[in-house]
Chain A
């Protein structure tokens, strides 16, 4: 027995050459402006970016087009020469299945060979990797419109948060949508973080415009029967819906069968293109307004949309018109702005990327979403505007613009606080 322990100790001494991995990923300097030295994720010619997205499972309907949007932007950029005209961008895609623990594993898998993450999809997965992003000093672009992200120095959000969508929708309803302070205004939300964001926006609007929320119905994702909730909403003149496509389809189907026809306003993730080619289409045409950003697919008047359509035909010919594709495309554009700045400073290390974001000013998205004022987390200002759409099966994505890029005073006054 004693001899064995001695052997074991000897073996340990033999391999003591291996050891700690605690001091890796340090920052480098010594680059000249416009020619950064190689660092983790950058070999001197190619910049590698991570994508943590649900490419399988129930949320893949969102993850797939979003990632395709990332890819279309970067393919087009690479064709023009790449970042600063000389560095090509390569994506490292990992499937998270929309699960927080898998996301943490995949993050660990690729963090050593990417300079930043151009997409992390989902509120819970993003929150799960956030502590590590802070420790590792890595920048990531979350693919969700949570207000939580605005004040986080390690995150690069795009677009107007969910709360802003709700406030602008209520403003529209109360000014031109036929509603008043005394209307019966209700809401139906998914019972999770995303639903809470919608409710927070509605509560803020209620305070600002002086109405009361008659009832707030919650439901769990994947519910089969919505009859109870729809009955509880009876008598509501306006219902704001915070949902995802699968549930939203069932909810509207149940409402249509029950001949319950309030004025529906819905958060952008509630809509999917298939809804414009389904039995509930006529019902939605009469009752629903979707609050999102940007413009309808194929709108030649908006220059950003013109580029997006031509690039999609070139680099993703099999892609269908899709709101999420445009979102991924916008994310990639914001990340490119950060990379350009970092190359200009001659530093693509993790510290260099975070510095570049702090020095970044206003980034324009050519009308696909409103301009975003970046910079240090505490002074960032996200877009305050939304676009209201009605359902129209004749349009490519099934949505036609009702009001383009509107921003209410209440939305402009909304303050974003730091997460706890």
Chain B
């Protein structure tokens, strides 16, 4: 009995598998090995800290992509929920263990999202963008004046416990080796990226996920065929805000100090840029976008002195500073992406996959 070809899909359940093909499973194993091994190989604090920030950004970007990419609700208020998560951690993180304060941050974020969500029922597109924009400014006022929680303008230090049972992520001891805080945090953050990615991926391939996409494409038509658009819009806001708060909680606990200056409009816009460059409506794209937006400036910064004409310090040679070069390259890349690859980095990835599916034939 000959087996059917591995790409042949014969029933609906098969089509919904998360890791359907052998290649995908191999990729999963490679990713897991990478996750475990990378901090042991890259011991440099700078790169580890860049990667930790990238991971935190990836969590937040997955949340925004669920809302904007899958459900079509534009939000400029993402920074507000990220800030909320960080302050919840500052408030309860020192008294509660990791497995309690992280869900607590998610819970608070989700509740805030539930309060904002209903606005999406009456408003669409640009109008919703402006309402969520207001959220950033309300948030900023709140963070500057609610001194008991945020320390006001002076900011607040965050001393969250990051231990799970015997493993303290600030100083991991395994098999006689001691791992630094940055190595420990790399594992903590990227394991959470994996968990959040899995949750969202699972959500979008099932009934609620299809409902979200129906709402995104034609919300009135979706209502007609029996999707309760209102419920799903609010639901998307709740889940997305909860994920954003988790990202904020990780950010606060890693940086150990946050001030109200961090949760501004620029942060929200940066997240929108990440999901566009990564690819709207894909989970993998959110992670790619975060890596791209987070690691590219660091790369240019690190190797700036090797590029001719780049000035790396005061009194140095050159005509363009590292920062100016970064801004220019970043801007050019966003334009190029939108023009040549609207599906973002994930689109490039899909193209490569499609090419090799029928390789060596062209179709």
A193–chain B nearest beta-carbon distance, Å: 5
List 9 contacting pairs A-B, 8 Å CB cutoff, sorted by A. Answer: A18-B43, A19-B177, A56-B321, A100-B255, A100-B257, A100-B258, A111-B45, A123-B154, A128-B256
Instruction: State the B residues within 8 Å of A (CB).
Output: 25-26, 29, 32-33, 36-37, 40-41, 43, 45-46, 48-50, 53, 144, 152-155, 157, 171-174, 177-183, 251, 255-262, 298, 301-302, 312-315, 321-324
Q: Are B315 and A8 in contact (CB under 8 A)?
A: no
Please name the residue on chain B nearest to A72 by beta carbon: B315
Q: Are B315 and A316 in contact (CB under 8 A)?
A: yes
From B180, B261, B322, B324, give the contact of A124 (CB < 8 A): B261
Given known contacts A8-B29, A108-B46, is B257 in contact with A128 (CB within 8 Å)? yes
- Is the CB of A301 closer than 8 A to any CB of chain B? no
Please name the residue on chain B nearest to A75 by beta carbon: B315
Q: Are B324 and A71 in contact (CB under 8 A)?
A: no
A137-176 CB contact bits vs B (8 Å, 1 = yes)?
Answer: 0000000000000000000000000000000000000000
Q: Are B177 and A12 in contact (CB under 8 A)?
A: no
Given known contacts A8-B33, A20-B179, A135-B181, is B313 in contact with A192 (CB within 8 Å)? no
Q: Are B324 and A56 in contact (CB under 8 A)?
A: yes
For the complex, give the distance between the alpha carbons of A305 and B174 in Å. Answer: 57
Q: Are B313 and A67 in contact (CB under 8 A)?
A: yes
Given known contacts A56-B321, A104-B49, is B40 in contact with A15 (CB within 8 Å)? yes
From A97, A123, A195, give the contact of B323 (CB < 8 A): A97
Q: Are B301 and A95 in contact (CB under 8 A)?
A: yes
Q: Are B49 and A105 in contact (CB under 8 A)?
A: yes
Interface centre among A22, A68, A101, A111 (most CB of B within 10 A): A22
A180-198 CB contact bits vs B (8 Å, 1 = yes)?
Answer: 0000000000011101100
From B50, B183, B260, give the contact of A21 (CB < 8 A): B183
Q: Are A196 and B153 in contact (CB under 8 A)?
A: yes
Q: Are B53 and A193 in contact (CB under 8 A)?
A: no
Please name the residue on chain B nearest to A123 by beta carbon: B154
Q: Are A23 and B36 in contact (CB under 8 A)?
A: no
The secondary-structure label for the interface of chain A is helix
Q: Are A4 and B29 in contact (CB under 8 A)?
A: yes
- Is the CB of A91 closer than 8 A to any CB of chain B? yes
- Is the CB of A55 closer than 8 A to any CB of chain B? yes
Residues of B contacting A223 with CB < 8 Å? none
Closest 8 CB pairs of A and B: A56-B323, A22-B178, A109-B46, A93-B313, A20-B177, A21-B43, A131-B256, A108-B45
Q: Other CB < 8 Å A-B pairs besides A15-B37, A127-B257, A191-B144, 20 of them?
A: A5-B29, A12-B36, A12-B37, A22-B180, A23-B178, A55-B321, A55-B323, A56-B321, A56-B323, A64-B314, A71-B314, A91-B313, A95-B322, A105-B53, A106-B46, A109-B49, A127-B259, A131-B157, A192-B153, A195-B153
Could you tell me which residues of chain A, from 53 to 76, have a CB within 8 Å of some CB in chain B?
A: 55-57, 64, 67-68, 71
Could you tell me which residues of chain A, from 89 to 136, have a CB within 8 Å of some CB in chain B?
A: 91, 93-95, 97, 99-101, 104-106, 108-112, 123-124, 127-128, 130-132, 135
- Is the CB of A24 closer than 8 A to any CB of chain B? yes
B249–chain A nearest beta-carbon distance, Å: 15
From B46, B152, B171, B251, give the contact of A196 (CB < 8 A): B152
Q: Size of chain A's interface in residues, with CB distance under 8 A?
A: 53
For the complex, give the distance between the alpha carbons of A67 and B316 in Å. Answer: 12
Residues of B contacting A95 with CB < 8 Å? 301, 321-323
B215–chain A nearest beta-carbon distance, Å: 34
For the complex, give the distance between the alpha carbons of A19 and B40 in Å. Answer: 4
Residues of A contacting B302 with CB < 8 Å? 109
B309–chain A nearest beta-carbon distance, Å: 16
From B178, B315, B324, give the contact of A20 (CB < 8 A): B178
Given known contacts A21-B179, A55-B314, A105-B298, is B257 in contact with A131 (CB within 8 Å)? yes
From A18, A57, A110, A130, give the contact of B41 (CB < 8 A): A18
Residues of A contacting B179 with CB < 8 Å? 19-22
B11–chain A nearest beta-carbon distance, Å: 22
- Is the CB of A1 closer than 8 A to any CB of chain B? yes
- Is the CB of A11 closer than 8 A to any CB of chain B? yes
A101–chain B nearest beta-carbon distance, Å: 6
Please name the residue on chain B nearest to A24 by beta carbon: B180
A312-325 CB contact bits vs B (8 Å, 1 = yes)?
Answer: 00001000000000
Residues of B contacting A130 with CB < 8 Å? 157, 257
For the complex, give the distance between the alpha carbons of A65 and B261 in Å. Answer: 24
Q: Are B41 and A67 in contact (CB under 8 A)?
A: no
Q: Are A101 and B262 in contact (CB under 8 A)?
A: yes
B313–chain A nearest beta-carbon distance, Å: 4
Residues of B contacting A131 with CB < 8 Å? 157, 256-257
Q: Are B177 and A68 in contact (CB under 8 A)?
A: no
Residues of A contacting B182 with CB < 8 Å? 21, 108
